[in-house]
Structure 1
Amino acid sequence: MNAELFPLETDLSIADGAWLLPGFALDAAAALRETVEAVLTEAPLRHLHTPGGQVMQVAMSNCGPLGWVSDARGYRYQALDPLSGRPWPALPPLIAGLAREAAARAGYASFDADACLINRYLPGNRLSLHQDRDERDFSQPIVSISLGLPATFLFGGLTRADKPARLTLRHGDVLVWGGPSRLRFHGVLPLDDSEHPLLGRQRLNLTLRRAA
């Protein structure tokens, strides 16, 4: 059975303050892809370097008033794209509105993202366990929109030693976590190689946060 043709209809509580909304973005997926492609013409994907000098596997870009960057100076948000020296592309209303609706459905009213990180995963790419700690306001949730190939998402605890749960995130799924779960460790296992009918051999992930 194709999970995208017959998505789960029930929201799933995965931890206190964390919800998986299966297929929440499915109806908007084609429009989201076009919107992201337009953003990437202004701010192309790039492979950032960690403060220690390693090249990140996942290619990234941003839209919104603030963008997340990493280099020898550390992890941070900034208003200008370091490649162009210009402001990041504006946060498209389609993406902002969808994130706001998902957050409200998960119990977080009035979510107003000012940063959207765009990640592109190719087969074999992974994201190691980490916390999102570069934001100033931890009272706001994180909203993660998945498009393209499915991924195994690791959702851990508040320490790196806690064994993470494994969640399959499919095309159109939205994950929201905040409150007691806001600082949980999370990551993505290496992406399996297959072909998605809309996005081909890739996964796009849009992660929206309130950074300032």
Structure 2
Amino acid sequence: MTTTPRTSTGTDRALAVAAVRDLLLAVGEDADRLGLLRTPERVADLMLDLFSGLGVDPASALGAPVALTENEHPGELVGMTGIPFRSVCEHHLLPFDGVVDVYYAPERHIAGLSRIASLVDLAARRPQLQERLGQQIADALMTVLRPHGVAVRIEATHGCVAHLEPRAASSRAVTVATVGSIPDATWRLAARDHSAS
């Protein structure tokens, strides 16, 4: 079964297909040989899907926040851990993937948990850096929910590291982005509980 790739606004599939063909020719390949005839289309469709978040504000994935009433209190911290993602490193256009843990300390608004997963996915669908990805997720949550604070932890493996430094192929990069403030005791409890699972 084939699926139509998601694409961002302003994409040009024909130009992308031609660019992949040109790249094959540039590295000395015969772009007309049987095994490569449809490769430019396949690669272009894959890249258009992987970059479908370009031109889209990641915060839009959160939709309208859920307002809490005066009698509701969501607790000191809301967390969603182990959100899988895949992105493409902007330095070598190789994939990196892993998991994202998102924590926020609500004030008067919360987000649906599936919306947080959608935010991670949308922010990842563009040429990206792991450090920037965490900050974009944190900033989007701060903008939409206006919580006391947000912390985003990402752990990922990188294709460029595996290719350039094969002995470090199984290494994992860890980044943490924080905005605002989360009580230290609460953050330590969340981090401890997550590491024990």
TM-score (norm 2): 0.23
Task: Identify, as 1 or 2, the structure richer in helix.
Answer: 2
Which is higher, the Rg of structure 1 or of structure 2? Answer: 2
Relative to total residues, which structure has the larger strand share, 1 or 2? 1
Higher RCO (Cα < 8 Å, 6 or more apart): 1
